[in-house]
């Protein structure tokens, strides 16, 4: 066989690979196809909480989500999956990020990706991401901290938004009860907008353990006897846990009894209540701006200490 014939044959093979989606036309590098076993594995990570727990990974899907991961947490990305159509329209910046990461990449046809995707309009790229590991004892040993406790937060969108708010407002850590939505549910991952890997998140059966660790629990409630308005609180303890409850039922009676302080956010009488994530945003912003008391005793009950009230 003549050299020219070999070159032409090699080119024909390359074109054949490009047609089945194994060649990135922009960089002329071969990307191996996603196997059937890998497809089944990724489908399980999308749909099964136990599969995510067993493997210690989760799925992040979409151009922005993967871009944020590759930019801020490249070492946490285990592998990437892309489609032919995504590679054709991928911009240079995203391509450089993808090529720079040391993890393997795989290609699959659009119809295969569509069968995996959790989006109504799949974007053709996803990442398998390693779950972060945090040491709870390191968090709880801090002399000063501001944490969140979410009790039976069932809506994945609420859990994801709370995580994003907590990361944005420098919350120390988040505790969720096991019956809350899984933090690695694809809907939660999308709602966090990349904040999932930056916030320590733990599970606890109830708030009792946090109280035993010397934390003061401030419980968000609707109006009622013994409940202060949030603007009546102008000092907070050194170790504070903001507690919010289930979207429909609120906090349990046990948590309300354990709370150092019970407060509400004043609303227009025509509005019955706020979304739990909105409550977290308002209360966290308010409390983070208040000076801290020297006393860290969780047993001391919260009272109205508004300066305007004291000066009367």
Contacts of residue 78, defined as CB under 8 A and 6 or more positions apart, other chains included, come to 57, 103, 127, 128, 129, 130
10 Å Cβ neighbour count for 280? Answer: 26
CATH number corresponding to 23-130: 3.30.1330.30
* The dihedral formed by the CA atoms of 53, 55, 56 and 58, expressed in degrees to the nearest 10: -90
Q: What is the full per-residue pLDDT of the chain (312 aa) written as tens digits?
A: 554 454 444 455 444 444 444 444 444 357 999 999 999 999 999 999 999 999 999 999 999 999 999 999 999 999 999 999 999 999 999 999 999 999 999 999 999 999 999 899 999 999 999 999 999 999 999 999 999 999 999 999 999 999 999 999 999 999 999 999 999 999 999 999 779 999 999 999 999 999 999 999 999 998 778 899 999 998 999 999 999 999 888 999 999 999 999 999 999 888 888 899 999 999 999 999 999 876 544 445 665 444 333 333
pLDDT at 18: 42
DSSP codes, 284-297:
HHHHHTSPBPS---
- CATH 3.40.1280.10 domain residues, the chain: 136-310
Question: Among 141, 132, 1, 168, which Cα is nearest to 56's?
Answer: 132
pLDDT at 193: 76
- CATH 3.30.1330.30 domain residues, the chain: 23-130
In angstroms, the CA 264 to CA 231 distance is 9
For domain 136-310, give its CATH number from 3.90.550.10, 3.40.50.150, 3.40.50.11540, 3.40.1280.10: 3.40.1280.10
Strand order of the β-sheet with 201-203 is: 201-203, 173-176, 145-150, 239-244, 216-220, 261-264, 228-229
What percent of the residues of the chain are helix, what percent strand, and what percent coil, each to the nearest 5? Answer: 40, 20, 40
pLDDT at 223: 79
Helix (H) or strand (E) holding 216: strand 216-220
Task: Return the structure tokens found at 170.
Answer: 């420098």
């Amino acid at each position: 066989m003549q050299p020219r014939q070999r070159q032409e044959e090699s080119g024909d093979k390359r074109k054949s690979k490009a047609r089945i989606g194994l060649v990135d036309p922009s960089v002329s590098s071969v990307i191996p196809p996603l196997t059937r076993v890998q497809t089944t594995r990724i489908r399980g990570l999308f749909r099964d909480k136990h599969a995510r727990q067993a493997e210690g990974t989760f799925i992040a899907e979409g151009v922005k989500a993967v871009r944020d991961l590759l930019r801020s947490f490249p070492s946490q990305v285990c592998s990437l999956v892309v489609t032919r159509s995504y590679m054709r329209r991928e911009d240079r910046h995203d391509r450089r990020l993808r090529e720079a990461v040391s993890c393997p990449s795989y290609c699959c046809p659009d119809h295969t990706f569509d069968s995996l995707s959790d989006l109504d309009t799949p974007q053709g790229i996803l990442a398998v991401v390693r779950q972060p590991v945090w040491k709870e004892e390191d968090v709880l040993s801090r002399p000063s901290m501001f944490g969140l406790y979410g009790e039976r937060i069932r809506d994945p969108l609420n859990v994801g938004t709370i995580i994003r708010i907590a990361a944005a407002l420098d919350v120390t850590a988040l505790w969720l009860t096991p019956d809350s939505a899984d933090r690695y549910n694809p809907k939660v991952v999308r709602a966090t907008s990349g904040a999932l890997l930056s916030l320590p998140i733990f599970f606890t059966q109830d708030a009792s353990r946090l109280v035993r660790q010397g934390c003061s629990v401030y419980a968000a409630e609707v109006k009622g006897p013994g409940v202060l308005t949030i603007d009546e609180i102008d000092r907070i303890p050194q170790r504070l846990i903001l507690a919010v409850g289930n979207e429909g039922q609120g906090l349990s009676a046990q948590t309300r009894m354990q709370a150092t302080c019970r407060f509400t956010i004043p609303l227009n009488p025509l509005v019955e209540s706020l979304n739990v994530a909105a409550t977290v945003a308002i209360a966290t912003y308010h409390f983070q701006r208040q000076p801290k008391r020297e006393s860290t005793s969780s047993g001391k009950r919260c009272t109205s200490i508004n300066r305007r009230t004291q000066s009367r």
